[in-house]
Amino acid sequence: MGTASAMPISDRNPSAQMLTAGGRLFLIDCGEGTQQQMRRCHFSFVKVEAIFISHIHGDHIFGLFGLLNSMAMYGRSADLHIYGPQALGGVLNFYRSYFGSDDNFQIAFHPLSCKSPELVHVSKCIQVSAFPLNHKIECYGFRFDEIVTPRHAEANPDYRPKSYAYCSDTAPFPELAQWVAGVTCLYHEATYPEEMADKALFRYHSTSVDAARCALQAGAQRLIIGHYSSRITDMDALLAECQAVFPSTVAADDCDTFDI
């Protein structure tokens, strides 16, 4: 629902994605305007089971207050699980103090603190692990793995469980490909083209080639890139840089849908 990075882009929203699995909704990051994007994409405010926030930069959380408020106005009553860095707890406490006193649902905040992949959420059909990324501040990626019931596995012995990994924002580091190894679909930021590799390194971000190399090393089946810098004017060239290293790459646009 958002493929831009920090600076505003007229035709792109900041980071936000919705993963649907077994009829359940999982929101990943919540940049400014996310609730409007949810309306455009026909997602229910009250059916979001959990929210996963990668880090406390504005382009990943500035939409959270509006969404929480709208959830209350739509009559949400089920607990809402929110996962993110420990500092997010203070942000949520501020919201509850000034805007959430009359909400009919409870926010269950789960602070993250891990040095390697750690299971953080288990749903009926999916389990979610968090892992640290290499950014300027505390930042986490998330891996979503399908849970296959014994009955389904017995009836479909050749079935491969689906998986999805979300990596934004991060500079490259060796362990990342191991932690997302074998995923069906990998989302990896590609903030800059390769010619801006110096800026990517300075700002703890990745280039198109960095993202493609991670997908290749991880043995991912497909790569989706996003989190584009406002300086990018030629998306075809950015995509071509990725595909030269990892051919099964797609450049996401806002409101794109991908079947995992």
Dihedral (CA of 142, 35, 253, 4) sign: negative
Looking at residues 229-239, what average pLDDT do you find? 95
- Residues contacting residue 42 through CB under 8 Å, at least 6 positions apart: none
Please determine, for residue 149, whether its predicted confidence score (pLDDT) is greater than 90.
no
Instruction: Give me the catalytic one of 59, 169, 210, 254.
Output: 59
**Of all residues in the chain, what percent carry a pLDDT higher than 70?**
100
Q: What CATH number does domain 16-251 carry, 3.30.70.270, 3.60.15.10, 3.40.50.300, 1.10.1670.40? A: 3.60.15.10
**59 an active-site residue?**
yes
Dihedral (CA of 24, 42, 223, 88) sign: negative
The structure's pTM equals 0.97
Domain-by-domain residue ranges, the chain?
Answer: 16-251
For 107, the token pair is 């926010």
Q: List the single range of 152-156, 183-187, 249-253 with lowest mean pLDDT.
A: 152-156
